[in-house]
Amino acid sequence: MAVEPAAMHNRALHATLAAFVTEAAEQLSEDVAGGAEIPYELIEQGRASAPLYCYRPLSDRFIAERASMLSRLPSYPAAVRGMAGLPKLESYLQLRSALRDRHAGPEEALSAFLCALWAEATDFTFEESRFETAYAELEHAAYEGTSLTRVVTPIEGLVLESDRVELGGGVSLVRAAALSELPADLRGDAYRTLAVVESDSPDQQGPSLEYAGRRLKRLQTALRLWDGAEPAVGPVAWAKTGDAAWVLVALPGGMRRAVQDYKLFPEEEDPLRAFCALVARRSPRSGELAWALRRFELGCERGNVVEALTDWLMAARALLGNHGSRSDELVCERLAAICAVPEQHEAVSARLREAVALERRVISGVVRPDDHIEALVAELGDQLRAVLRDVLCGHLQPELRHVADSLGARQPISL
């Protein structure tokens, strides 16, 4: 298990540039193997009375002549976007003498990075030591005067197969053993899953806890919608900026029932990454959908699944109900219309009506949870999760009453 360095500012860019350099190395090597020649210049060394002459490879000219070809590599667009996001790109361009005019930008910075990587090289191979040296130079110039802020918190209910899963925006899921620097309280379990939020701030300004808190909240929402294991962010996090000591920070929510954990396999990482991005971008701040989403999450935080019944029914009523005494009947029909195939519509609707009838008994405290009751409530939670997930992904329109009625639910009753 590889331990990653703690001081890196932008791990996502590091991975993106590594992918681009790998493709560029293959392309440039193919050109050389096909007969393309690296130009050389004759330079004089030694004393004037006894000069020595040698040839210096002009690898930067060779790379520049193939800029158009390299721009067609699959990883090129992501590499340019990563360069464009650097806080002090001009500093790197100046360092590499690539800021020849005011129009120089991320494309020129990417070319300058390749030239720095293969300066005076006679072959184009991916050498990790060369890459790390060039990347360290890039980060030093582009992040000068800023400090890396890191916020770390456990994720309960999620098991990783990979050491690290980048989710974008400075957020990643990491096995504890893969981090070189951790608070003492998190060092006990090497396979524990941690959420890490990294951001940069000017020196002396301290941790960006508000930013980290927002990202962790969106991550928790995404994980709860992703799988019925309902992984949750821990109740506390640890934060530090630069070389300062770790600071303990309380987080809202984070309670999770004792249910089976969810294991994230490598083939699921890209879909989860895309889903987290959708949730972060499309989660509403107000309105029925926002209210229902929060009510769904409150249900996820109850001590047992039966206690979640009222929360989940309230979320379903907000999305699918009408005002009036027969609103719950419509909720059951509409939710069944969305979640069940036509031949199972009546059976699903009947189980939903059973869950509605159970609510009053739960409130009165006369229900003893058993396998049947817990399965009934869990089904409601799974159906609500599926609806909310599909709305945020764009598979369902937010006007769920109209969607359900068009799928076969009974037309709204005039009340």
Chain segment 20-59, per-residue pLDDT in tens: 999 999 999 998 888 888 877 766 665 555 556 566 778 8
Per the CB < 8 A criterion, the answer to whether 160 and 178 are in contact is: no
Scored b (16 or more CB within 10 A) or e, 280-308 reads: beebeeeebbeebbebbbbbbbbeebbeb
From 118, 142, 166, give the residue that closes a domain: 142
Same domain, 16 and 138: yes
Residue 344 lies in a domain: yes
SS3 (DSSP) at 161: coil
Chain segment 358-408, per-residue pLDDT in tens: 998 888 888 888 889 999 999 999 999 999 999 999 999 989 999 988 886
Same domain, 130 and 167: no
pLDDT under 70: residue ranges of the chain: 1-7, 42-55, 98-103, 201-208, 253-254, 324-325, 408-415
* 408 DSSP 8-state letter: T
Same domain, 30 and 137: yes
Residue 121 lies in a domain: yes
From 113, 142, 171, give the residue that closes a domain: 142
Structural domain that includes position 302: 285-406
Residue type, 232: A
pLDDT at 99: 56
pLDDT at 148: 77
Residue 411 lies in a domain: no
Residue 256: CB partners within 8 Å, gap ≥ 6? 156, 157, 230, 231, 232, 300, 301
What would you report as the CA-atom Rg of the chain, rounded to the nearest whole angstrom?
Answer: 28
pLDDT at 411: 45
Number of domains in the chain: 3
Residue 323 lies in a domain: yes
Residue 277 lies in a domain: no
Same domain, 117 and 169: no
Residue 165 lies in a domain: yes
Between the alpha carbon of residue 14 and those of residues 24, 27, 76, 139, 398, the distances in Å are 15, 20, 14, 10, 38
Instruction: State the pTM of this model.
Output: 0.73
pLDDT at 55: 67
Residue 222 lies in a domain: yes
* Interstrand relation of 146-156 and 236-241 (parallel, antiparallel or unpaired): antiparallel
pLDDT at 168: 85
Same domain, 124 and 239: no
Same domain, 124 and 158: no
Same domain, 358 and 241: no
Same domain, 152 and 176: yes
pLDDT at 147: 73
Residue 350 lies in a domain: yes
Same domain, 150 and 138: no
Same domain, 136 and 162: no
Same domain, 195 and 250: yes
Same domain, 190 and 78: no
From 142, 175, 190, give the residue that closes a domain: 142
Q: Cα separation of 327 and 325, whole Å?
A: 6
